[in-house]
Amino acid sequence: MKLLPPGALAAAALALSVLAACAPADEESSESAGSGLPPLSQCQPDDLTLHTKGTLTIATDDPAYEPWFVDDEPSNGQGFEGAVARAVAGKLGFEPADVTWVKQGFNEAIKPGDKPFDFDVNQFSITKKRAQVVDFSAPYYKAKQAVITLEKSPFAEATSLEALKGAKLGAQVGTTSLEAAEQVETSSKPLVYDDTSKAAQALQNKQVDAIIADVPTAYYLVGAELDGAKIIGQFEPQTGESEQFGLLLDKGSKLTPCVSAAVEDLRKDGTLAKLEKQWLSQKTSVPELS
């Protein structure tokens, strides 16, 4: 091989460095840089700070309701949130056998302090107030609020929020459903319940005239937990924005950017849309309450 003189070698090295600087980055790095999130190649098990080394610990409430989970068994990867959690774990390089599920109540999860999990999936609406004490991933779902009442209720034919003025409402404590209920102008404040099932039971017992829940949960309550109930309509918060669900993490968690990167990748490749269609699509549309 013919050797180049030292000056030519230096020139060649300079040319290569210039070309390298001008060359486009690989697609994953380019997209991640644009979003401010790390590439998934840097978000594999050995790269992550985990609650338990080598294991991804995911939390949710007990019981775990449909259509978010199936058979009250989060680890089976079924139901919308069960499937989303499994898909996020897969993007981070975890097989189902490397994932541990733990139980964590909704109200406990949103409190400040160290968490006994890596992330929690439990229909957590992303709010500025909550974000002061916990982290949220990029949103994986947008939902509206639904109004549920009994078929024989005087409010069963209501077509507007104004028509609920004389109704006694109920919702779960600490949720955006409760915040939405408080936005409806009624003669009394909404009654507050520890969980959605207790709110549903109050409706069944006619202790309230209607309850507020996100649309998919409302479908489950009407189909599985309530007798003679119906969804009269749906509405958005007064901000005009649909609420967004995010995976919940400890405040300042080093895992948050990678979990968000996984969620965003699932959005880009169409997985989130596919899972939403599979688990949350309803045969009957819900009318908008004006």
Domain ranges (residues) in the chain? 40-141+243-280, 145-235
Q: Would you state the structure tokens that stand for residue 257, as one six-digit string?
A: 């950017």
Could you give the CA distance from residue 196 to residue 112 in angstroms, rounded to a whole number? 23
Q: Would you state the structure tokens that stand for residue 217, as one six-digit string?
A: 């949960």
Q: Would you state the structure tokens that stand for residue 243, as one six-digit string?
A: 């609420």
Could you give the CA distance from residue 72 to residue 230 in angstroms, rounded to a whole number? 24
Let me know if the fold of 40-141+243-280 is the same as that of 145-235.
Answer: yes
Q: Would you state the structure tokens that stand for residue 180, as one six-digit string?
A: 């939405």
Phi/psi for 103 (5° steps) reads: -95, 135
- pLDDT tens digits along 221-266: 998 899 999 999 999 877 545 689 999 999 999 999 999 999 999 9
Cβ-based burial of 92 (10 A; exposed 0-12, middle 13-18, buried ≥19) = buried
- Overall fold of domain 40-141+243-280: D-Maltodextrin-Binding Protein; domain 2 (3.40.190)
**Which pLDDT value is given to residue 14?**
33
- Written out in words, the top-level CATH class of the domain with range 145-235 is alpha beta
The residue with greater pLDDT, 130 or 29, is 130
Helix axes 271-280, 256-268, angle to 10 degrees: 80
Amino acid found at 254: K
Q: Which of 18-22, 35-39, 148-152, 262-266 has the lowest mean pLDDT?
A: 18-22
